Amino acid sequence: MHTADVVIIGGGIVGSSIACHLAAAGCKDVLVIERETAQGKGSTGKSMGGVRAQFSTPVNIQMSLYSIPFYASFDERLGYPGGYRPQGYLFCATHENHLTYLRANHEKQIALGLKNVRLISADEIRTMFPQLRSDDIVGGSFCSTDGFVDPYSAMVGFMSWAADHGTTLWRHTQVTGIKRDGQAITEVETTRGPVATRKVVNAAGPWASEVAKMAGVDLPVEPLRRMLVPTEPFDQFPHTAPMIIDMSNGFHFRPESLGFLLAWNDPEETPGYKTDFEPSFIEKILTRAADRVPIFENLAVNPKRAWAGLYEMTPDHHPILGEVPGVPGFFLANGFSGHGVMHAPATGKILSDLILAGKTDLVDFSLLALSRFAEGRMIEETAVL
Ligand SMILES: Cc1cc2nc3c(=O)[nH]c(=O)nc-3n(C[C@H](O)[C@H](O)[C@H](O)COP(=O)(O)OP(=O)(O)OC[C@H]3O[C@@H](n4cnc5c(N)ncnc54)[C@H](O)[C@@H]3O)c2cc1C
């Protein structure tokens, strides 16, 4: 029978980062199991690649304070490209209550040590981007170290570095069961045969609750479709622009290749494994795009290039991390609610610390434990895009 010190289920960016951090900490007998023939076919390959520290809860800010500098030094640390581009995130407020909210977040971000975030006036936004319709913009918040990464490239970089340092990756292999001896984990069943192990990490992205069920654990993680629309080449808006967020309706966009990538959270979307792109979404998003950026009326879009993927949502929009109480050896790294790429480095470090040492000083991990739901300790994140 195969054996491994740690088995990671899922070879997306989260599983890859955990493998990389375990290898860096000296844990080399790690097996990552991915059911697809190639990595990145889950949420990671569908992501917009945004990374930001402009959150409203301390724990999310702290995870970004580890992750963004990690991405900034990714290429040097790992010898593979992560594609980090510090072009910033610009939140544009259109109501006084948005400003109150941004001010409160800004205070928390500064108190936790974020250096490059600042509140900015409506006039400054107008000067930065005269192309925006700004009659209702009352101010905003900008952080220059926020920006974008290339999620696929970063995932491959994490996994390649881990493989260079002893980790094994099985592709085209599905985990079909998890065996427990009374309480503790003893074995993972796969389409390549059983693997004896005492430690299993669930990094199965939107499919996390199905994997948790194999170990007899109920996990409140639901898949929710998100659609992205890339435009054809467009040069009438600067390609040095940050991610720009219209707080009046949540529409946001960023430069991508020679065009732009448009995103909007459709409130009519319902949970489920829906990965087909809905063509009627294009009109909805272009209406919002042209409303905030009038020259976007001239944008051309090829619907065949648009795509859909799945967010992994939790009830309080925070991830669920750590060992499951009552199931020794079963670790969770799930429910990133739209932030799994930007928080993959911190998640890798936290999980590696918890697996190898049972504690971490990166965050107060009890805040992110599965038990918070049963104990009524949810920590709502409102800065979700
Ligand atoms: C449209 C869109 C835009 C997004 N934009 C951003 C963004 O700007 N910034 C950001 O930080 N995040 C963003 N996200 C979220 C981000 O992509 C995810 O949070 C992140 O990719 C999760 O990574 P993961 O490794 O946990 O999951 P995944 O990448 O889904 O990987 C999980 C893997 O587990 C495998 N698997 C599942 N079950 C089994 C099994 N039984 N056996 C073996 N393998 C299994 C799957 O095949 C999959 O490859 C976006 C998501 C979408 C859909």
Is the CB of residue 48 below 6 angstroms from any atom belonging to ligand 1?
yes
Is the CB of residue 206 below 6 angstroms from any atom belonging to ligand 1?
yes
Is the CB of residue 229 below 6 angstroms from any atom belonging to ligand 1?
no
205 CA from centroid of ligand 1 (Å): 5
Is the CB of residue 146 below 6 angstroms from any atom belonging to ligand 1?
no
Is the CB of residue 336 below 6 angstroms from any atom belonging to ligand 1?
yes
pLDDT at 44 over 80: yes
Is the CB of residue 201 below 6 angstroms from any atom belonging to ligand 1?
no
Rounded Cα distance, 191 and 98, in Å: 51
Indicate the pTM of the whole model: 0.98
Which atom of ligand 1 is found nearest the CA of 206?
Answer: 30
Q: What share of the chain is helix, strand, coil (3-state, %, to 5)?
A: 30, 25, 45
pLDDT at 302 over 80: yes
Cβ–Cβ < 8 Å for 89, 245: yes
How, if at all, do strands 30-33 and 222-230 pair? unpaired
What pLDDT digit, counting tens, does each position of 306-316 carry? 999 999 999 99
Is the CB of residue 200 below 6 angstroms from any atom belonging to ligand 1?
no
Mean pLDDT of 229-236: 97
In the three-class reduction of DSSP (H, G, I as helix; E, B as strand; rest coil), residue 382 is classed as coil
Kindly provide the residue ranges of all beta strands, DSSP E only, lying in the chain, ordered along the sequence: 2-3, 6-9, 30-33, 50-51, 89-93, 117-120, 139-143, 147-148, 168-170, 175-181, 184-190, 195-196, 200-202, 222-230, 243-246, 252-256, 259-263, 307-313, 320-323, 330-334
| Helical (H) or strand (E) element with 160 | helix 151-164
**pLDDT-based confidence at 380, cuts 50/70/90?**
confident
pLDDT at 384 over 90: no
At 62 the pLDDT is 98
**pLDDT-based confidence at 28, cuts 50/70/90?**
confident
At 381 the pLDDT is 72
Mean pLDDT of 118-140: 98
Rounded to a whole number, what is the largest CA-CA distance in the chain? 67
Which atom of ligand 1 is found nearest the CA of 203?
Answer: 26
Query: Whole-number mean pLDDT of the chain?
Result: 97
120 CA from centroid of ligand 1 (Å): 33
What pLDDT digit, counting tens, does each position of 93-108 carry? 999 999 999 999 999 9
What pLDDT digit, counting tens, does each position of 337-374 carry? 999 999 999 999 999 999 999 999 999 999 999 999 99
Mean pLDDT of 165-181: 97
What is the token pair recorded at 131?
Answer: 């192309």
At 383 the pLDDT is 67
Instruction: Write down the residue that tokens 């099985």 correspond to.
Output: 170
